[in-house]
Structure formats: C-alpha cells, structure tokens
Amino acid sequence: MRKLVVFNQVSIDGYFVDDHRDMSWAKQDADDEFNRFSSDRASGGGVLLFGRVTYELMASFWPTREAAHALPSIAERMNHLPKVVFSRTMKRASWNNTTLVKDDMVGRIRRMKAEPGEGMAILGSGNLVSQLAERGLNDEYELIVNPLALGAGRTIFQGVSKRLGLKLTQSRTFKNGKVFLSYVPA
C-alpha cells in the first residue's frame, strides 16, 4: 500500500497561505543547509497530488528557467515526477506528466493508495489536505514552520470538523530558524 504524505510550509501562526492566498513568504530565508534538505527530500520518486490552485501556482514556476537556475535538482524532480491535479473546473492540465481528475477524488486516492509503487505527496492544496484528513487518508504530515507570523490566512486543516490527534515522529531545526516537524495520525 502506498503512503500519502502531506508536505507544507506554514507560518508560526499556522497558515500555509496568507489572506491574499500568497505563499511566496515560504521561499524567504532559504540557505544552503535548508536548500540541501529540500533537495534531498525531493530526490525520491512517487506521485505529486495537487488541488487546482496549488497546481496552477506550481505549474507557473517549476517549468521556468528561473526555477531551473535557482533550484536545479528540485526543478528537475518537480517537472519529471508524475502529477495528479484534482479539479472540477479545469479543462486540461498542461504541465509535463500530469493527469487531471475531475470527479471522485476520494475514491481515486483510495485506489491509488492500494496500488503498488512509490508514495504520494500533497504539496500545498489545503482543500485537498483537509478533505482527506477528514476521511483519515493522510498517512503523514511533514511541516516546515517558518519564523514569521502572517496574522491571517488559511490553514491546511480549514474545514476539518473533528479533532485530529497526531504523534511527532521527527524534527529538525535549521540555522535560518525554520523547523521541520513530521507527524503521523495518533
């Protein structure tokens, strides 16, 4: 059975996007240590899962020369890996190696989890994360806590109607003040 990991950067007050849906603040304060960690995390295989909003954001950056220059190993992996975008409104998905799924998101993810193969990762995609959390389908939550408070925005758990007990399995502090935390459902 495949494992489904959520990977997101959040502010210290728990938001993954600010009140204008901007995530660019998460790129600040990167340094060599953090970039190596990110490259190592991106070196594996698997399938990337996105909601429409995050997919459009990622598809507008990772295939660019800017991404290839700034973060070459991550850009190569992001462009190479298979991707699935869940959207009822998109007509087509043009980013390399992407499948568009328009309906039965939960059923599709359950089937994908049951298949053999490398794991799956959700990046951003708060609606997707919260809907799957509600159904107990996320196997792990990997969060990078950034040393800034946004004051307002959206959490990855917005819309979850029940408590989610989590158990810390791993942590790491970076010189730039970012903290990596990994949790599994308790």
Cα 171 from Cα 142, distance rounded (Å): 9
Label residue 43 by pLDDT band (50, 70, 90). low
Q: Is the pLDDT of residue 161 over 90?
A: yes
CATH hierarchy code of domain 4-178 = 3.40.430.10
Other CB atoms closer than 10 Å to residue 120's CB: what's the count?
21
Q: Is the pLDDT of residue 50 over 70?
A: yes
Label residue 22 by pLDDT band (50, 70, 90). confident
Q: What is the pLDDT of residue 101?
A: 97
Q: Is the pLDDT of residue 23 over 90?
A: no
Cα 130 from Cα 79, distance rounded (Å): 25
The ranges assigned to domains in the chain are: 4-178
Q: What is the pLDDT of residue 44?
A: 66
Cα 114 from Cα 94, distance rounded (Å): 27
Average pLDDT, the chain: 92
Q: What is the pLDDT of residue 42?
A: 63
Average pLDDT over residues 151-163: 93
